[in-house]
Amino acid sequence: MVQNAIVKKIVREGVAEVSLLRQMECGLHCDGACAGCSAKPPQEILALASNGINARPGDFVEVEPSGGRNISASVAVFLLPCVGLGLGYALGLYALHLGELASMVTALFGLAAGFVPAFLMNRAITRSSAPEFAILKQLR
């Protein structure tokens, strides 16, 4: 999904910090002249972007999310906890021959175990300084 952003600063060679603009009805074509504009977001959303076009601070650019880790993050966050829940229940009911209530407790342990990879992946992505976006072109 292509978004508009403003280059805030150059972090290092080939990487810039951008302020992402939410998609608004007016497209923010008013250049900020509307003092009472309710469309402007209340806080900035900052992200790193690879700067292949050599954009400078203050440039209005078009950015696109970098591919690669989006699918793996989705699998870790959504699929692994569900698999852990199902495996925990099946382990309690069929392998350990526990009752329904005790199998639900083992299912909760499986759910918690499924969240561990998601938590670790979130920490790795947060600590990573790899650009999350790529600057496609300068708009103005």
pLDDT digits (tens, 9 = 90+) for 84-97: 999 999 999 999 99
Specify the pLDDT at position 133: 85
Q: What is the pLDDT of residue 70?
A: 63
Q: CA of 123: how far to CAs of 75, 84, 118, 119, in Å?
A: 16, 20, 9, 6
Domain ranges of the chain: 3-67+129-138, 69-127
pLDDT score, position 92: 95
Query: pLDDT tens string for the chain (140 positions)?
Result: 788 889 999 988 888 999 887 655 555 555 555 555 555 555 678 888 888 888 899 899 999 887 665 677 777 788 889 999 999 999 999 999 999 999 999 999 999 999 998 888 878 877 776 777 888 888 87
- The two three-digit tokens of residue 90, written as one number: 């099946």
80 sits in which H/E element: helix 80-90
Closest CA to 9 of 70, 55, 68, 64: 55
Q: Classify residue 88 as exposed, middle or buried by CB count within 10 Å of its CB (0-12, 13-18, 19+).
A: buried
Which pLDDT value is given to residue 29? Answer: 54
The CATH architecture that domain 3-67+129-138 belongs to is Beta Barrel (2.40)
At 69 the pLDDT is 57
3-class state of residue 74 by DSSP: helix
Whether the full predicted model's pTM is greater than 0.75, yes or no, is: no
Q: Name the strand (E) or helix (H) holding 8.
A: strand 3-12
CB within 8 A of 94, min separation 6: which ones? none
